[in-house]
Each structure stands twice: as structure tokens, then as C-alpha cells.
């Protein structure tokens, strides 16, 4: 993978992360992240739809009339969402029920429509695929992290169970070990983190951390450039 292609993938993880930087896809980030498996499944489902729709739209970009591009994009996206929905209903009805309306709502997810309009319709298939993977993985990582933190703090467990596969890991002893006391004076999980306010708190802290990290890296890059400039200026001139 050359540097240009690597850039298309990596930007979705950090510099243009759809949730923490672009503030897109906030509804599923807040609503479905009460269990870790829900965050993972929602993220992977969105990634698959992103990848499929970006590739198809990039392939058909010269055949789609400009005045019909948005309806055409929605039809393509809806096709992949339907396939994901059918797959979840067949193999993991419990997770499908937990995600509820948010799987069908992927059709109008701003992340997917945005990448289709801003990127896939203007770039090659390979670059569009890498863009989709980067944005999808970035979205999945954020949803998984939010769900993981919320479930540990709010339920004292980690759910990684799909149908008959995986397990639920009990971490309630962690609160006793660390002496963490909730609002009722009990060494037990904090229910607030399973409620909408808890989701806002966790997501807000992650956004703040990402903002701090980006500013810190920008300052470091600026310092390095200034040092290099001074070094070049102080070099003796050759005869």
C-alpha cells in the first residue's frame, strides 16, 4: 500500500474520525452502546454498508445522472442495509432486536451519504474502498470503546456474546476491589452510565481527548518545523 492509499485509510481513524471529529453518526453512538457487542455489531454493519456502497457508487459514478444522484445513492445503500438486516435476523436475532430501528436507519446515516457524495462519486474504486474501510473502522472503534466503558461502569460486565458464541464477563468484583462507591453508597456499578446522560458524558470525554491529542500533535509538528527551519538557516554556506 503506497503512502497516498495509506492516507485514505488512516484519516478515518484519527484526523477525520466520523464521530469524534466530524460529529456524525451520534444517534447510534449514544443509543446502541449499552453493551459491547451492540457497539461492535453496529460498527461492523455500518462498515460493510460503507464499503459496498462506496465501491458500487464509484463504479457507477459516470452513469448516474447528476439530478438523480441522491436517490440513486439511497437505493444502493438501502440494498446493502437490507442484506445486513436479513443476516442479523438469521444469525443473531437478539442483537438484531437490541439494535432495533438503528440498523434500517443506516440508510440515511450522514456518514454513508456523506462519503458517497463527497468521495466515492469523485474517486477511483480502490481509493473509495480504502476511504470506506478507514471511516468504518474509525466508527467501529469509537462505538466499541463507548460501549465498553459504559457497560463496565454501568453494568459491571462485558458482553461479547452472539447467539451461542462468546461469553458475558462479570467484572462486578472490580468495584469492590477498587472501592468505587455509587450514588447509593454501594460498591456496585453506576447505573447512570447505561442511561443517555452517561453516554453523553463518555462521548464528550472522548471528543475532548481527541481534540487535545490533535492540538498536541499540531504543536509538536510546528515545533519540529521551526527547529528544522532554524537549523537550515544556521548551516554555513558552501563556497
- The pTM of the full predicted model, rounded to 2 decimals, is 0.88
Short-list 47, 101, 54, CA closest to 73: 54
Q: Which residues contact 20 (CB under 8 A, 6 or more apart)?
A: 142, 206, 207, 210
pLDDT digits (tens, 9 = 90+) for 12-29: 998 899 999 999 989 889
pLDDT of residue 178 exceeding 60, the answer is yes
- Render pLDDT for 96-155 as a digit per residue (tens, 0 to 9): 888 989 999 999 888 999 999 999 999 999 999 999 999 999 999 999 999 999 999 999
55: pLDDT strictly greater than 90: yes
More confident residue, 180 or 229: 229
Q: Which three cell numbers stand for residue 58?
A: 464509484
Q: CA separation (Å) from 161 to 132, 166, 186?
A: 27, 4, 28
226-236 average pLDDT score: 77
Mean pLDDT of 77-89: 95
Cell representation of residue 202: 463518555
Amino acid at each position: 500500500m503506497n503512502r497516498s492509499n495509506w492516507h485514505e485509510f488512516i484519516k478515518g481513524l484519527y484526523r477525520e474520525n466520523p464521530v469524534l471529529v466530524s460529529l456524525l453518526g451520534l444517534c447510534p453512538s449514544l443509543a446502541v452502546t449499552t453493551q459491547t457487542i451492540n457497539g461492535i455489531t453496529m460498527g461492523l454493519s455500518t462498515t460493510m454498508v460503507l464499503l459496498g456502497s462506496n465501491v458500487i457508487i464509484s463504479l457507477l459514478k459516470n452513469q448516474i445522472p447528476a439530478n438523480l444522484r441522491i436517490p440513486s445513492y439511497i437505493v444502493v445503500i438501502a440494498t446493502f442495509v437490507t442484506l445486513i438486516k436479513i443476516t442479523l435476523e438469521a444469525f443473531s436475532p437478539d442483537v438484531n432486536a437490541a439494535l432495533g430501528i438503528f440498523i434500517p436507519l443506516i440508510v440515511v446515516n450522514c456518514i454513508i451519504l456523506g462519503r458517497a457524495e463527497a468521495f466515492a462519486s469523485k474517486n477511483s474504486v480502490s481509493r473509495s474502498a480504502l476511504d470506506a474501510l478507514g471511516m468504518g473502522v474509525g466508527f467501529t472503534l469509537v462505538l466499541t470503546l463507548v460501549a465498553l466503558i459504559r457497560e463496565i461502569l454501568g453494568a459491571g460486565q462485558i458482553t461479547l456474546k452472539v447467539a451461542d458464541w462468546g461469553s458475558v464477563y462479570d467484572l462486578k468484583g472490580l468495584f469492590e476491589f477498587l472501592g468505587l462507591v455509587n450514588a447509593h453508597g454501594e460498591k456496585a456499578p453506576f447505573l447512570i452510565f447505561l442511561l443517555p446522560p452517561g453516554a453523553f458524558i463518555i462521548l464528550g470525554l472522548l471528543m475532548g481527548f481527541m481534540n487535545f491529542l490533535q492540538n498536541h500533535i499540531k504543536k509538536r509538528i510546528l515545533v519540529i518545523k521551526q527547529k528544522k527551519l532554524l537549523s537550515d538557516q544556521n548551516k554555513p554556506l558552501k563556497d
